[in-house]
Each structure stands twice: as structure tokens, then as C-alpha cells.
């Protein structure tokens, strides 16, 4: 019974409140401001980015066309195109040294002479023996028919004459070996012997290097082997020459890959007219793999990566279009785009965080040079 009474009181109070609310204006009673705001205020959605019409302010840059050079770096060592250690073939006493250390010599120049007096005497004796053998052979052949010697004797005399002539040529060759001749044009190194020294066969006298054109040996990872061709450009630098650059070309590629280092050895050739590159010099090498003169390049900050994929926002018809791109070579502050955009396309550089596909944009600035 008490519950019914309570329900009746609540209903009565609710009805009175509704009647007061419905007739408050007619009675001249001001209504609560909270209620007025709730009845008259309309919800307003703020424009995205805070711009009129929901446009997102962005900074853009035009994708540019430029040259991209793909390179592989390595280290190499200079080798002379031709190099030899000058040694003697015979023993003897040094009589004359005909070169100066560091001198440039030509092929065929005499570098050093040994005492050949004994060999010359031996040559005279060999020549006398040969002359005697030839005379005996001539007399035997000139005898009249009744006094002719047997054919066996003629054959013996011919054999003796040939042997004597052979000894003459052999002695002449030994005399020639006492004169050290430059085998090719180049520059001699340090002198290892002095006049009057007794030297034995194989004694090193000096070195001879042809460095008018040098070779540089270096190695690259095997993953690049299939893209290397004879004639590829090579740029070399040495700390000894500061910023000077030496330009050469790939001349030879090894036919085998080193199974330990997984690298392949290359030999490049460099013109060296001033002989600045010395054999043994250590060089930093840059091998040009590919040169793309009309590559598409955009500022690196325009990239919007997602996992292993990359996107950029291109402005088309006043709206941002999210485009997947394939990256190429990375440059300082820039990146090459192999696929996705073309030179001249307007690419969003700043304001990426507030963009979505198809969002209207307002360009606040157009960058005219790459950012770093």
C-alpha cells in the first residue's frame, strides 16, 4: 500500500514539472541557459587542418629529372702495366752501369755490362776451330777423282765443321748475356749492384716498370658480377693526392669467384702520363654500374613508408592521391623513383601527417630546390 502511494507522488511531481516547463515562457519565467543552449545550439564540425572548406595546407615540390649514377665502392692497389726485375744469366764482374736510378729507358737500351774478356778469347778460339774445319772440308771435296777420300770422311768433316760453328754461336750468345738489355720501355728503379762487383746468375740488378699506363686491381661482391662489363667507368682516389680523381676503365674480369670472400676480382686500366700513380699505391675505387641521365628524383622527406612498401602523396585535381612508388638510388636528401611518379608531378613534402587519400589540399609553398 505504501509503494502505491510513493508512485503516485512521483507521477504528480513529474506532471507538475512538465506543465511548468511547457508554460514557462507564457508565464514570463526565464528558462535555464543550459536548456536554451541545448535546444538552439547546432553541432559544428571543425574543418580538417583548420582551413576553410576542409582543405589541408601542404608544402609541395615538383619531381625533377636528373642524372643518377649507381656505383660500387671498393679498394684497390696500383700495378705497373709491365714490371720485371732485371737479373743476370751469367757470372762475371760488373764493368759498366749505364743507367741512373729512376731514369726512363727505351726498349733495347744497354743497362749494364760484365767483363767478357775471357769469353771473347774463347770466341776467337771457336772461330779458329770453325775456320780449320771448313778448310779441311773444302780440301777434301776438291781432291781429284784418283785421290778422293771416302764419303765417310766427307761426312765426318762436315760434322766437325757444324760443331765448330755451333760453338762460335754459343760463345757469341754468352757474350751477349754479359750485356743487360731493357726488355721494354719504362723506368728503372734502385740500383742493386756496383761496378767491380762479382755477381752470379740470378743476381737482381734493378727493376723496370712501365707505368705510362697502370692497372688497378680490386674486388666487388659477387651480387654485382652479372652487371659488370668490360669498359665500365672506374674512378679512383688516393689520400696522397687529396681531391684529385683518376679515371679508368674495367679491362679484365676474373672468371672465378673467390669462395671464401664471395667476391670477384677486376682489373682496370688508367692512363698515367704524369706517372702520378706508382706501383703499390693504395686507392679508393668507385665502379660505375649504371648511369641513368633522365631519372625521376623527389625529396626524401616526401616518402610515406609502410612496412617494406613506400608511398608518396601526389597532388592531382586539387586532391592528395596516395601513390605507391618503387625506389631506386638514394642521394643526399633525395631519392630516385623508378616507378609511380613522373618528372613534373607535384609531390607533398610537408603536411603528410594530416593527409588521407583524396583529401582536398591547399598548397602553401612550392619548394624550388631539394631539401637536405
Instruction: Kindly report the average pLDDT of the chain as a whole number.
Output: 83
Q: Which residue has the higher pLDDT, 152 or 57?
A: 57
Distance in angstroms (rounded) separating the CA atoms of residues 127 and 167: 8
My answer on whether 60 and 122 are in the same domain is no
Q: How confident is the model at residue 41 (pLDDT cuts 50, 70, 90)?
A: very low
Domains contained in the chain, number? 3
pTM for the structure as a whole: 0.61
Residue 284, domain member (yes or no): no
Q: With a cut of 80, say whether residue 154 has pLDDT above it.
A: no
> In the structure, what pLDDT confidence band is assigned to residue 143 with cuts at 50, 70 and 90?
confident
Co-location of 25 and 60 in the same domain: no
Residues 126 and 63 in one domain: no
- Which residues constitute the domain of residue 122? 116-177
Angular region, 49: left φ>0, alpha ψ -120 to 50, beta rest? left
3-state secondary structure 286-324: EEEEEEEEEEEEEEHHHCEEECCEEEEEEEECCEEEEEE
The answer to whether residue 325 sits within a structural domain is yes
In terms of domains, do 36 and 63 share one?
A: no
For residues 102 and 187, the answer to whether their CB atoms sit within 8 Å is yes
pLDDT of amino acid 146: 59
Helix and strand numbers (H, E) in the chain are 4, 19
Q: Are 26 and 63 in a shared domain? A: no
Any idea what DSSP says for residue 120? H
Residue keyed to cell 696522397:
240
Q: Which long-range contacts (CB under 8 A, 24 or more apart) does 329-333 make?
A: 329/68, 329/70, 329/295, 330/300, 331/68, 331/297, 332/372, 333/299, 333/300, 333/370, 333/371, 333/372
CB-based contact 209:186 (threshold 8 Å): yes
Shared domain for 123 and 162, answered yes or no, is: yes
Same domain, 169 and 126: yes
Quick one: which H or E segment has residue 252?
strand 246-258
Q: How far is CA 164 from CA 140, 176, 188, in A?
A: 17, 19, 39
- By CB atoms closer than 10 A (0-12, 13-18, 19+), residue 94 is buried
Residue 16, pLDDT above cutoff 70:
no
For the beta carbon of residue 136, count every other beta carbon within 10 angstroms: 15
Is residue 274 included in any domain, yes or no? no
Read off the C-alpha cell for 264.
670477384
Indicate whether 332 belongs to any domain.
Answer: yes
Residue 348 lies in a domain: yes
Decide if 211 is inside a domain.
Answer: no
Residue 200 C-alpha cell reads as 752470379
The predicted pLDDT at position 351 comes to 86
Residue where a domain terminates, one of 177, 195, 224: 177
With a cut of 80, say whether residue 12 has pLDDT above it: no
**Which pLDDT score, from 0 to 100, does residue 44 have?**
39
C-alpha cell at 220: 666487388
DSSP H or E stretch at residue 265: strand 263-271
Report if residue 109 sits inside a domain.
no
Cα–Cα dist 315/317, whole Å: 7
97 has which bridge partners? 112
Q: What is the CATH number of the domain that holds 350?
A: 2.40.420.20
Give the residue-averaged pLDDT of 331-342.
90
Q: Between residues 40 and 257, which one has the greater pLDDT?
A: 257
Between the two ends of the chain, the Cα-to-Cα distance in Å is 85
Across 29-49, average pLDDT = 42
C-alpha separations of 251 from 25, 51, 123, 232 in Å: 101, 62, 48, 8
Instruction: Tell me whether residue 258 is in a domain.
Output: no
Within 116-249, where are the H helices? 117-142, 151-176
Query: What confidence tens digit (pLDDT) does each residue in 93-140 have?
Result: 999 999 999 999 999 999 999 998 888 888 888 888 888 888 888 877
Q: How far is CA 252 from the centre of its chain?
A: 14
Amino acid at each position: 500500500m505504501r509503494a502505491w502511494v510513493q508512485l503516485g507522488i512521483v507521477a504528480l511531481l513529474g506532471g507538475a514539472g512538465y506543465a511548468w516547463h511547457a508554460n514557462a515562457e507564457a508565464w514570463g519565467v526565464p528558462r535555464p541557459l543550459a536548456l536554451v543552449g541545448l535546444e538552439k545550439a547546432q553541432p559544428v564540425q571543425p574543418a580538417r587542418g583548420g582551413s576553410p572548406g576542409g582543405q589541408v595546407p601542404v608544402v609541395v615540390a615538383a619531381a625533377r629529372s636528373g642524372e643518377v649514377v649507381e656505383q660500387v665502392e671498393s679498394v684497390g692497389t696500383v700495378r705497373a702495366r709491365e714490371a720485371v726485375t732485371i737479373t743476370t744469366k751469367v757470372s762475371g764482374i760488373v764493368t759498366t752501369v749505364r743507367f741512373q736510378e729512376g731514369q726512363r729507358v727505351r726498349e733495347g737500351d744497354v743497362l749494364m755490362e760484365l767483363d767478357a774478356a775471357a769469353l771473347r778469347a774463347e770466341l776467337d778460339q771457336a772461330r779458329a776451330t770453325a775456320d780449320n774445319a771448313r778448310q779441311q772440308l773444302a780440301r777434301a771435296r776438291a781432291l781429284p777423282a784418283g785421290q778422293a777420300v771416302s764419303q765417310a770422311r766427307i761426312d765426318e768433316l762436315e760434322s766437325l765443321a757444324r760443331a765448330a760453328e755451333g760453338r762460335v754461336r754459343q760463345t757469341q750468345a754468352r757474350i751477349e748475356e754479359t750485356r743487360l738489355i731493357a726488355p721494354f720501355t719504362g723506368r728503372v728503379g734502385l740500383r742493386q749492384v756496383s761496378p767491380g762487383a762479382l755477381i752470379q746468375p740470378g743476381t737482381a740488378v734493378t727493376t723496370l716498370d712501365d707505368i705510362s699506363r697502370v692497372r688497378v686491381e680490386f674486388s666487388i661482391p659477387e651480387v654485382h658480377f652479372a652487371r659488370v662489363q668490360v669498359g665500365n667507368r672506374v674512378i679512383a682516389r688516393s689520400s696522397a693526392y687529396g681531391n684529385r680523381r683518376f679515371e679508368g676503365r674495367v679491362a679484365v674480369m676474373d672468371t672465378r669467384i673467390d669462395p671464401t670472400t664471395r667476391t670477384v676480382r677486376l682489373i682496370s686500366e688508367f692512363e698515367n702520363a704524369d706517372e702520378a700513380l706508382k706501383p703499390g699505391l693504395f686507392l679508393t675505387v668507385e665502379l660505375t654500374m649504371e648511369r641513368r641521365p633522365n631519372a625521376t628524383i623527389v625529396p626524401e622527406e616526401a616518402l610515406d613508408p609502410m612496412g617494406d612498401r613506400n608511398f608518396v602523396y601526389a597532388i592531382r585535381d586539387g586532391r592528395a592521391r596516395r601513390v605507391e612508388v618503387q625506389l631506386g638510388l638514394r642521394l643526399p636528401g633525395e631519392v630516385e623513383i623508378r616507378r609511380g611518379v613522373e618528372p613534373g608531378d607535384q609531390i607533398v613534402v610537408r603536411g603528410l601527417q594530416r593527409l588521407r587519400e583524396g583529401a582536398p589540399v591547399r598548397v602553401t609553398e612550392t619548394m624550388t630546390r631539394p631539401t637536405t
